């Protein structure tokens, strides 16, 4: 099973690799601080590249990391699903050939991409945040909706001066455009825990 907790020793932090929250941009900055500097990894900070470059990057969940700052980001699941669909998720979906409604339907019970666990890394962009993380584990949980200011909190704590680079950004309309009542109902139920945990809701475009 894929591990979503990464340890960066030079920054003395443990990072929750939460997909579609700006995590690739954050990994780019954190990886660049490790030594020796590896430009290949900072250009393409995927899990395989990072694990080869930093062999002990993944956290041993049974070990204590005293003095390490633990942080992660979260995103409204209504919005995250649209972004994941439009991005493609490593070939998991092609938005040019499959509508958003059909994509979400495929994730439902009995669908071709039914979400049951976290074993398929290609599906990590759409699995519930609460399947991957425990909020109480972290010192700070930032929000994608407040990314610049919340990243400043992390950067100040870790002594980072770099601005977040833009990586894997998708172009799409406000997420509400893609939903109908049935899709809203399913997302509300399937992602209920994180919606309630972070007080998210479905909002129409202003």
The pLDDT profile of the chain, 206 residues, written as one tens digit per residue, is 457 899 999 999 999 999 889 888 898 889 888 877 777 677 767 777 787 788 888 888 778 899 999 999 999 999 999 998 987 666 677 778 889 998 999 899 998 888 887 776 677 888 999 999 999 999 999 999 999 999 999 999 999 987 776 655 566 788 999 999 999 999 999 999 999 999 999 988 76
Q: What is the pLDDT of residue 15?
A: 95
**Helix H or strand E segment including 182:** helix 181-190
Q: What is the pLDDT of residue 57?
A: 87
Q: What is the pLDDT of residue 152?
A: 94
Gap between the Cα atoms of 108 and 116, Å rounded: 10
Q: What is the pLDDT of residue 38?
A: 72
Kindly report the backbone phi and psi dihedral angles of residue 56, in degrees, each rounded to the nearest multiple of 5, phi listed first: -105, 30
Nearest CA to 170 out of 24, 47, 20, 18 is that of: 20
| 55, 47 contact by CB (below 8 A) | no
Q: What is the radius of gyration, based on Cα positions, of the chain?
A: 17
Dihedral sign computed on CA atoms, order 56, 32, 123, 187: positive
Q: What is the pLDDT of residue 54?
A: 82
Strand partners, 127: none
Q: What is the pLDDT of residue 1?
A: 44
In the sheet with 69-74, reading across from the earlier edge strand, the strands are 5-8, 13-16, 69-74, 140-143
Give the chain's domains with CATH numbers. 5-197 (3.40.50)
State the chain's maximal CA–CA distance in angstroms.
52
Q: Measure CA of the first residue to CA of the last residue in the chain; give whole Å.
A: 40
Q: What is the pLDDT of residue 171?
A: 63
Gap between the Cα atoms of 16 and 12, Å rounded: 13
């Amino acid at each position: 099973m894929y591990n979503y907790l990464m340890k960066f020793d030079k920054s003395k932090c443990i990072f929750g690799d939460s997909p579609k929250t700006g995590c690739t941009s954050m990994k780019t900055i954190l990886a660049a601080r490790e030594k020796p500097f590896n430009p290949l990894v900072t250009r393409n900070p995927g899990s395989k590249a990072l694990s080869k470059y930093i062999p002990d990057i993944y956290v041993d969940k049974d070990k204590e990391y005293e003095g390490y700052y633990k942080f992660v980001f979260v995103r409204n699941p209504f919005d995250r699903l649209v972004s994941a669909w439009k991005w493609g998720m490593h070939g998991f979906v092609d938005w040019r050939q499959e509508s958003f409604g059909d994509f979400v339907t495929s994730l439902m019970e009995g669908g071709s991409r039914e979400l049951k666990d976290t074993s398929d890394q290609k599906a990590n962009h759409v699995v519930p945040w609460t399947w991957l993380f425990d909020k109480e584990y972290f010192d700070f949980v930032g929000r994608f909706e407040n990314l610049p200011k919340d990243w400043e909190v992390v950067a100040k704590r870790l002594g980072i001066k770099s601005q977040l680079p833009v990586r894997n950004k998708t172009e799409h309309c406000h997420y509400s455009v893609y939903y109908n009542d049935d899709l809203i109902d399913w997302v509300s139920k399937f992602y209920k825990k994180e919606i309630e945990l972070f007080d998210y809701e479905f909002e129409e475009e202003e």
